[in-house]
Each structure stands twice: as C-alpha cells, then as structure tokens.
Amino acid sequence: MSALPDVTDESCRVALAAFERHAVRATFDTGRYVMRLATWGQGPPLVIIHGLSDAVRGFAMVMHHLAAHFTCIAYELPNGLDDGAKLGAYHHRDFAADLFALLDDRKLDRVALLGSSFGTTVALAALAAAPQRFTKCVLKGGFAYRPLKWYERLGARQGRYWTGRLCELPLREFAMSRADPATWSGCSPLSRELFLWCNGQTPIRAACRRAVALDTLDLRPVLPTIRTPVLLISGDRDRIVPHAREAVLANHLPNVRRVEFTDCGHYPQYTHPRGTADAVANFLGE
C-alpha cells in the first residue's frame, strides 16, 4: 500500500468536533490507577492503546473514519499526575493487566486491538498472555525490542523524577521536528497543533518511566507463540522505530501482513488518518 499524507485542516477540524460531540467519556479504577477512556461508534469493539507520549485525542481523526463500523474504545495510559498511579511500582506487565481490567469492566469477551508505538508492546504482551481475548491486532509503528540509545537512557533515567509536562521542556518543538521530520512536514497546521498538544500533555516522569521500561523489554521470545492475525502499519520515513526493529515482527509473527505509507514518519494518525483507518477497517473486515 502506498498512500501520501491525506490530512487537511478541514478534515482535522471536523473530526475533532465530532469527537467532542459523540465520544462518551468514562473512568474506572483498574486497581492501579483511575483509567480515563473514550468510547465512540457502533459495531465490533476495537480497543486503541496510544504511544509513549501521546493521548486518546490524537486518534480522533482515525476514529472519525472508523466509528460508523466499529465501537472504538481508546484509553489513557497511567500518568501518575492526576490518576492515582504509582509509577515507581509499575512494571511493563501491569500495562497489559490494565488492558484486561478494562475488558472485564466493559464485559468484553473478545476485541480487536490497535496499538501504537509503546502501545504495540502492551498489545503484544496481552496477545501472548491471553490470545482467546482478541480477534485481530493492528500494530502501528510496532516493535518487540528497542533498547534505548545511551543518551536516551540518560535522559529517561533523570526525567523519572522531574515534575511538569512535556510541553514545559525547552526546545521541544525543535527536538520533535528533528526526531520525526516526516510527521512534522506531513501534518496540516491544525493537525500539527493536535500532535503538539497530545505530546505536550504527557507528564515528563510518565514518558520517562515508559521509556525506561522499554530499555530492558524483550518480547522477541513470545512472537512465535502469537497466532492472532496481525497487521503492521509503518511509515517509509520512520526514524523513531527503524525498519530493522519492525522487521523482527514481520519475520517472527506467524500470521502477519504489512502496509507502508509514503512520506510517513512514526505517527500516521496525524498525517495519514484516512489511510490508517482504511487499512484498519479493511483488515478487520476480512
């Protein structure tokens, strides 16, 4: 699949307005934190797990295209700022446990998953632990093993104890544009504002603790055991999760296929929302 950026200010504005109007907000206590979630649409359930420094609202454009055919359930990861999460006690397995708590609370026996970046590792862990709970899974910007570079490790370890949100960091926009120029240039002005807002709302210590959790995480041994059908969605210019990291999934998951977008970085939900939604809908509808 080859799809160029398809976002416009108008499509972003319409999607955000529809999200504010139609998405039903709720909270519940997983036992580890008070989870915030948004439910939008009708049809088979699709649970969306956002990435390391993202937010539910970042998937508004994708959900806008999917809501006519799927019940999209997107939830916020624990942030430790205003949700009661004790991040210092969190292990990676707890993120999957929170997902199962959500399914039990909503009385959902089986669902499809859409995991994004860090969320793909939560999805993979859940697929390995309880495959009977899932019909299919989409992994966007996915990986099973991505140890941090030395400077990422240094920053993440220090940042675990910082207060504030990412929007308060100096030179944040410059750093984001350098880290993922394809996303930066592929966004419309309004979708770039959305990208910045979703990133900026993430508490610094939450983002850093998620990053530290990734540094020692290695899900490669469980990949051959995951029989659930999986779709990989990637960008041809993704610098955050290089192709070699994603290729591990393509080579070791037993039932996998892949689509790649053109002129796309790590966040196609902001630059290729229609293409992303179409790929998800086509895969889940088969």
Structural domains of the chain, ranges and CATH numbers in brackets: 9-285 (3.40.50.1820)
The predicted structure's pLDDT at residue 286 = 84
184-207 tens-digit pLDDT:
999 999 999 999 999 999 999 999
Residue 2 has pLDDT above 60, yes or no: no
Q: How far is it between the farthest Cα atoms of the chain?
A: 46
92, with CB counted inside 10 A (0-12, 13-18, 19+), is middle
Residue 19 has pLDDT above 70, yes or no: yes
Question: For the chain, what is the mean pLDDT?
Answer: 97
115-153 tens-digit pLDDT:
999 999 999 999 999 999 999 999 999 999 999 999 999
Where does the pLDDT of residue 1 fall: very low under 50, low under 70, confident under 90, or very high at 90 and above?
Answer: low
Per-residue HEC secondary structure of the chain comes to CCCCCCCCHHHHHHHHHHHHHHCEEEEEECCCCEEEEEEEECCCEEEEECCCCCCHHHHHHHHHHHCCCCEEEEECCCCCCCCCCCHHHCCHHHHHHHHHHHHHHCCCCCEEEEEECHHHHHHHHHHHHCHHHEEEEEEECCCCCCCCCHHHHHHHHHHCCCCCEHHHCCCHHHHHHHHCHHHHHHCCHHHHHHHHHHHHCCEHHHHHHHHHHHHCCCCHHHHHHCCCCEEEEEECCCCCCCHHHHHHHHHHCCCEEEEEECCCCCCHHHHCHHHHHHHHHHHHHC
